[in-house]
Structure 1
Amino acid sequence: MSGRSPVAVVLGVAAAGLMLFVAAVAAVFSTSPLGVASGASADAVSDVPAPMLALYRQAALGCPGLDWSVLAAVGKVETDHGRSRLPGVTSGENSAGAAGPMQFLAPTFAAVIAAHPPPPGGATPPSRYDPHDAVHTAAAYLCDSGAHTTPERPGDLRGALFAYNHSTAYVDQVLDQAAHYRAPAPAPAPVPAPGAGSGAGLAALGYARGQLGLPYLWGGDGPAAGEAGFDCSGLTTAAWASVGIAIPRTAHTQYRALPPVPLDQLQAGDLVFFGTPSRVHHVGIATGAGTAMIHAPDRGQTVRLGDAATLPDLLAAARPA
C-alpha cells in the first residue's frame, strides 16, 4: 500500500468531475483507444482473485480508454487487492485517512458516488470498504480525472493516476504493474480476403480477442455479467451480444438455431461446433484465417487461440449475421 492516500485531493464539487491535465500524447496509455479490454496474462490470472478480476473488468467497461489492467494495478499497489492486513484496508483508516481496497478518503468517496453512484451489487449505502463499490468508484474517479478517451480526444492516463495519488513514482509503479497484468498481444491473424468477414463478425471477433487469458468458468458469462470468466458458449454469446445480436446461450442451441456455413468458407465471427448433431458439446469463434478460432476450452484453462482442425470431433459451422 502506498504511503499516501491514492485520492489525496478531494473533489471540490461533484459536478466538476472532469479535471484537465497537460500531457503529451506520447504519455497516453494505449491498449485499445476506445476501451476494448486487453487479455489477462498468466501473472494476472494467478495473482488477482477471480472476484476482483471480474470487478476490475466490469468497472472498466464504463470508461472508454481505461483498461481493466490499470484498475487491477491500482488495487495491487494500494492493498494487494484487499489482502493487505495494514490499517485502513478492511476497517479503520491509514495515517492519511484512506480506507478500503482502493484506499479512498471519506470526502472523496462521498463526492464521487454523489456524481456516479455505483451500480447495484455493493453495500447499502455504498461503502469504500466494499470491493464492488470501491472498484467502480475508482473507475469513475479515474475516468473523470482524464482517463476517458473519445475519437476526438485521447485520454491522459498518467494525469488521471497522478490525480489519484500525487506521486510520479506511484504512476510509474501502477503502469508497470498494469503492463505485467496484460496478456501479450496475440500475433495478428492474416488479413482476411475481401468479403471474408462482415463488420458485425469482425467486431464480435474483436470482442473475443479482448477476452484472451480469462479463465474458463462453467456457466460463465464474463466480466460484463460480473463473472471472472467464460465457458465456451458464454464467450460466443457475449461476443455477438457486444454487437447487438442475440443468439441462444448453449453450444447445442446455437448449432440448431443458426444458419450453417461450409467449414471451408469460414469468416471472422462464424461459430465452429464440436460433437455430434445430437450432442454438440463445444463451440469457438472463427478468426477468418483458415480454421483458427478463439475459444474457452475447459476447466483449468483460459480463453485462447486454437485450431479447430486439430480437435477430433469438429462438426460444423454457422454464421449469426
Structure 2
Amino acid sequence: MIPSKALAGRFSWRGLAVALAVLVPFTLFGSIMLMTPSPSLLIGGGLGGADCAEAATATDLSESAREDIPADYLELYKKFGAQIGVQWNVLAAVGKRETDHGRSSLPGVKDGTNYAGAAGPMQFLISTWGGKPRIKMGTDYNGYASDGDGDGYGDVYDPADAILAAAKMLKRNGAPDDLRRAIFVYNRADWYVDQVLAIAKRYAATGGIDTPNPACDLAEDAPDGVVQKILEYALAQRGKPYRWGGTGPDAFDCSGIIYMAYRNAGLTIPRTTFGQWPFGLRIEPGSEQPGDLVFFDAGPGTGPDRPGHVGMIVSPGKMIEARCTRCGPIKVTTYADRGNVVGFTRPLQNADVLEQLKSAALT
C-alpha cells in the first residue's frame, strides 16, 4: 500500500500531485475508494442523531473488521478510542490506510522513516512526534509522543504508543464530531479523508461511523426529568460559538451555558464559574453524574481553589463545554484526558436549589 506522507499539515501540493498520479491506477483492498462519504457517515451524535440501539450496534465489528484487523491492534484501537473519546473504527481506518495495521514492509514502518519523514504504524513525522523516535516521558518535548504501554517511553514504532498518540491528534483536531477536519489535519488531502471514512464505514457492523452519542447515556443515567431538561438545553447549543460573558441565545461562555441550562429547568444558580464552584456539593471523582459540573485550573484569575473554567457532565467521561474563542464551537468533549481538573460539584444538592425544587413541586 502507499503509506501516507504526513501528519499535521506537512503534505505539500507537489507531493499531492504525485500521490494522485500514482493513486489513479491504485486499488485499495480490491476497489478504488475515492468516493465522497454520505452525510450519514458524519453523524454528530446526541439528540437528533442515530437512536441508541443503532449507536450500540455500530460498536460491533463487521465481518471485514474481524478478518482484517489483528487482535492486538483491535484491542488498542478500542481501548484508546474509548479512553480519548474518538471512534475506534476511524482510528482503525487511519491505521489501515497508513501501514495496513503495521503489516507493511515499506520503509519507515518498523524503523527509520519513509521518503516524507514519517515513521511507525501510524506514520507520525518525527518532528510531530517530538523530535526523535523514542522519548522519555516527563522530559521536555513538543509533540504527540505518548506512552500507551506504560513503559515510561513514547516510542513511535510501538503500536500502543502510536495508536494512543493518533487518538489524541484526532481528538485535538475535531473528532468525534468534526471527522473530516480531524482526518484532514492528520493528512491534508481530501482523497485521504474519503478513503479513511470509507474504511471506517466498512469496519462498523452497521456500515456507519461509530459516533459517541451522549443522548444514549443520558437516557440511562439522567436521575430525573429535571436533569433531562438541563441536558436537553445544553446539548441543543452545540455548534454555537463561544463568547465571553455570553448567555445566549446565539453564543455562550463556559459558565453561561450552564447557567442558562439550569434556568431552562426552572432553577437559579450563580452566573460565573467563580460563583458556581463553591455553590454545588463537592463530588468525589468517579461519582459524577449527568448535570454535575467539572471544573478546571484554567482561565484568567484561576488558582488552586479558584478554577476558571467549567463544563457540564452529560455522560460517563463526557462533558459539554464552551471552551474559548479559538477552541471551536460548543461541543461534547472528554474530560478524562485533561490534566488540570480541580474537582466536581452537584448544584442540585445545594440547599437553595433543593428549596427551589420543593417549591416547584408544590405549585
Between structures 1 and 2, the one with greater helix share: 2
**Normalising to structure 2: TM-score of the pair?**
0.42
Q: Which structure is larger by alpha-carbon Rg, 1 or 2?
A: 2
**Normalising to structure 1: TM-score of the pair?**
0.47
